[in-house]
Structure 1
Amino acid sequence: MKAMILAAGRGERMRPLTDHTPKPLLVAGGKPLIYYHIERLAAAGICELVINHAHLGAQIEAALGDGSAFGVRIRYSPEAAALETGGGIFRALPLLGPDPFLVINGDVWTDIALTDLQLGADDLAQLVLVANPPQHPHGDFVLRAGRVQETGTPRLTFSGIGLYRPELFAGQQADAFPLAPLLRQAMAVGRVGGQQHRGHWFDIGTPERLAALDAWLRWKC
């Protein structure tokens, strides 16, 4: 299986930290955020990675190179301007190939066991959901008997981690577009599975949350 790390966001809420440093290279616990993803993917035996980038993307390529220092192979999908989540994945499909692939948001930290993720035979997506954090109290979706639905309660938050089949993006055009509408269409026909991660998960969206993660990682170590 191949994996994609989404790293093209401008990180407006992280300014001024992201004025000169792309968000995935911001440091917590002594190393850049994206290093944690690469190390966890490598530990799970997922060694073929695709990383998209836009804002200050040259810094990401300079920091990670071809991935050999991490024991993985990295290919890049540069974007002149960020294409949003859906558009970024769509652009990278030729690099990801015809098989299901894993996608992880570059601005989260988690201890999830990636080897536990499985895509149902007829599903277009498998989403990892988490308990609603304080900054997103109303959640995104409902998880019921292993199926993800748009409506109902209780609601959970999409973690930014999912398995996808390329067919999810059928009929799309090379342009900026969000992922959520495609997921909702697949949910409507019962083709999105899910699981709840009950371990640690941090959404690193602001300097305050980055500082909280840094303090937690240093305490943990």
Structure 2
Amino acid sequence: MKAMILAAGLGTRMRPLTDHTPKPLLRAGGKALIDYHIEKLAAAGVSDIVVNCSWLADQLDAYLAGVGRRLGLVIKVSREQTPLETAGGVVQALPLLCDGNFNDEPFLLINGDIWTDFDFATLIAKRPDAAHLVMIKNPDHNPLGDFGLSASGLVTEKTVVGDEASYTFSGISVWRPSVFSDFSAGKRALKPVMQTAMARAAVSGDLYEGNWWDIGTPERLAALDVYLKAQAGS
């Protein structure tokens, strides 16, 4: 299975840290944020990775080339002149994910601005109809959640009956390329794509209750840095 790491955002909420450094290369616990994903993917047996980039793309491209050589991975870069949002980025990267010849083998899709101890190897065997989403309990910054999760493991539109009735999308998922193959190039958000597939009962999900961080602000990055250094010293 191949994987795509979403790393094309401008990092505006992380300024001034991202004025001269692309967000995936910001460091926590002594490593660049993107290193954690790449190393965990390699440990799961994923050796072919696509990373989209836009802001300060030359920096990220050069860094990824070095990581690929060091770990023996094939890391391909999908450059976006301006960020295309999540689904638009996937549409542009489909030829890289499918080796130029369309096939419908599922791929992992991971937000570049999260940190987690989730084991990507658990998703390698997932063969969803359209998609499989990893959900988490609602963090403080998203108390109402994103979606519901049925007893049969289907992702649904969220209800409004308390926090426990809804969950937050972790930014970790598995997709079939055919979900994106009919879209034209350009900026496109992922949530409407999810909702269309959910309406067909074609999106499964499960709940992860381990460690997960959304690195959306300098304060959260600093807190993650403290946490990881404490873990390393324990």
- When the two structures are superposed, what TM-score results if normalisation uses the length of structure 1? 0.97
User: Within the alignment, does 1:147 sit opposite 2:161 as a pair?
Assistant: no
2:158 counterpart letter in structure 1: T
Query: For residues 160-175 of structure 1, what are the structure 2 equivalents within 5 Å?
Result: 160-175=171-186
Name which of 194, 200, 208 aligns with 1:189: 200
Secondary structure, counterpart of 2:167 in structure 1 = strand
**Larger deviation, residues 39-48 vs 149-158:** 149-158
1:128 counterpart letter in structure 2: V
Secondary structure, counterpart of 2:188 in structure 1 = coil
- Asked if structure 1 preserves the Cα contact closer than 8 Å seen for 2:106 and 2:127, the reply is no
Residue 167 of structure 1: how far off its partner (Å)? 1.2
Deviations 1:7-40 (A, max 9, x none): 1000111011011100000000001000000000
User: Within the alignment, does 1:202 sit opposite 2:213 as a pair?
Assistant: yes
Query: For residues 22-171 of structure 1, what are the structure 2 equivalents within 5 Å?
Result: 22-65=22-65, 67-97=68-98, 98=103, 99-117=105-123, 118-121=125-128, 123-144=129-150, 145-152=152-159, 154-171=165-182
Residue 70 of structure 1: how far off its partner (Å)? 2.0
Identity of aligned residues (%): 53
Residue 62 of structure 1: how far off its partner (Å)? 1.3
Deviations 1:123-162 (A, max 9, x none): 1000001111111111100111211001325111001110
Residue 113 of structure 1: how far off its partner (Å)? 1.1
Structure 1: how far apart are the matches of 2:139 and 2:194?
A: 21
1:80 counterpart letter in structure 2: Q
- Asked if structure 2 preserves the Cα contact closer than 8 Å seen for 1:142 and 1:148, the reply is yes
Gaps of 5+ in 2: none
Aligned residues: 220
Structure 2: how far apart are the matches of 1:143 and 1:216?
A: 30
- When the two structures are superposed, what TM-score results if normalisation uses the length of structure 2? 0.91
Residue 120 of structure 1: how far off its partner (Å)? 4.1
Structure 1: how far apart are the matches of 2:65 and 2:121?
A: 25
Residue 71 of structure 1: how far off its partner (Å)? 2.6
Gaps of 5+ in 1: none
